[in-house]
Amino acid sequence: MLRCLAVLALANAINTASRSAPLRVRGGADDARATHACAAALAAAKGKAAPKIARWRLDVDDGRLCPKGWSAEASSLVEDALREFDAATRTHWQSEDRVKSRAALAAYLQSEVGSAHLDQLQGAAERRLRQLKAALGRVYAKAGSADADAFDAELRKAEHDFDGDAARCRVDALKLEGVDERTAFLDAARQLASDFEASPAAQLVATRGERKRAEKAAKAAQRAARQDAAKGKAPSLVPKAVNVAVQLVGMLRPVGLGNLQGYCSYAMGPHSLLFGYADDRDPNGGGMDGDEIPLFRLQPKFTVDVDL
């Protein structure tokens, strides 16, 4: 009886071994097929996405920044790549190779599309800063100084324009909205406006503005001279001008009688200082009516010179 039981147990073991061995061979083949299918799907997805990403980089180099439709195209590339990978590896959904390959594809898309997104926004920021610098130069040339209100208006315009660029470049599939890039752009724009008046560009603009104003005044004078000549008027050799000045006049009057007088003067621009000496007091220090006259007298004079 024991011998029969031993024989039955041995037969059962042999039968179990014969069934399990083919399963192990078949499982290894399935793993190999899954590995190959996932690797092929990953390579196909990368190969399909790479030309578009390369074209985007060429667009940045050529100055085509944040074109209309770029956001939808970038999101579609990411979603289509993942969808096609899932479809190609659906039969191996339990394979670890599929999980790893899909994670590798997602990381590739995040890196490459994210880099293209960053290139677009950095290029757009550089372009908007150049435009802002030119606009500030025009405002400075027109006003002759840093007009705070006009500068703020140009800053708001630059911010609005960059927000439009960021909206056209957002990638919803990867949640790339350009928040950090917007903050960096605004900081750079505000710094540019703050330092503009002391910059070499502002000095150049100021010099050009003075030159233009001088040329404009010269042309106006020539135009007026031609009009006077057409009317038969003789050209004036003295430029027409109105000068307003303040003068200080000093007088030293010692004791004595006589008519000796002397003056000295100092002038700077329209302002002058006159100083005189007059020997016209009596020996008692008074005037003809006996009033006390000070030794030194200083009085202001307001003059208006009109050249016609």
Q: 87-133 pLDDT, tens per residue?
A: 988 888 888 888 999 999 999 999 999 999 999 999 999 999 999 98
Lowest mean pLDDT among 103-107, 160-164, 221-225, 294-298: 294-298
Task: Give residue-wise pLDDT tens across range 187-233.
Answer: 999 998 888 777 776 666 666 666 666 667 777 777 877 777 777 66
Tokens at 55, concatenated = 């074209």
Kindly tell me if the per-residue pLDDT of 78 is higher than 90.
yes
Q: Which of 66-70, 140-144, 196-200, 205-209 has the lowest mean pLDDT?
A: 205-209
**How confident is the model at residue 7, as a pLDDT?**
42
Name the percent of the chain lying above pLDDT 90. Answer: 28
Greater model confidence, 68 or 289: 68
Provide the percentage of residues in the chain whose pLDDT is more than 70: 62
User: What is the C-alpha separation between 232 and 235, in angstroms, rounded?
Assistant: 9
The pLDDT of 160-184, averaged and rounded, is 92
What does the domain layout of the chain look like in residue ranges?
A: 23-198, 241-307
167-177 burial, b at 16+ Cβ within 10 Å, e below that, comes to ebbbbebbebe
Q: What is the pLDDT of residue 249?
A: 72
Give residue 183's pLDDT band: very low, low, confident or very high (50, 70, 90).
very high
User: Residue 145 pLDDT > 80, yes or no?
Assistant: no
Per-position b or e across 265-281, b if 16+ CB within 10 A of its CB: eeeeeeebeebeebebb
Lowest mean pLDDT among 54-68, 113-127, 178-192, 278-292: 278-292
Residue 172 corresponds to which tokens in the numbers above? 């919803």
| Minimum mean pLDDT range among 30-39, 53-62, 172-181, 201-210 | 201-210
| Higher pLDDT, residue 78 or 273 | 78
Query: Closest Cα partner for 176 from 123, 118, 125, 126?
Result: 118
CA atoms of 84 and 167, how far apart (whole Å): 27
pTM beyond 0.85? no
- Worst-scoring range by mean pLDDT, 180-194, 210-224, 241-255, 286-300? 286-300
pLDDT for 5 = 46
* pLDDT score recorded for residue 21: 37
What is the predicted pLDDT for the residue at 198?
A: 75
pLDDT for position 281: 60
Which of 13-17, 42-46, 77-81, 253-257 has the least mean pLDDT? Answer: 13-17
> Of the candidates 84, 107, 79, 78, which has an alpha carbon nearest to the alpha carbon of residue 38?
84
Q: Is pLDDT of 20 > 50?
A: no
Q: How confident is the model at residue 192, as a pLDDT? A: 87
Please tell me the predicted confidence (pLDDT) of residue 307.
Answer: 58
Indicate the average pLDDT of the chain: 76
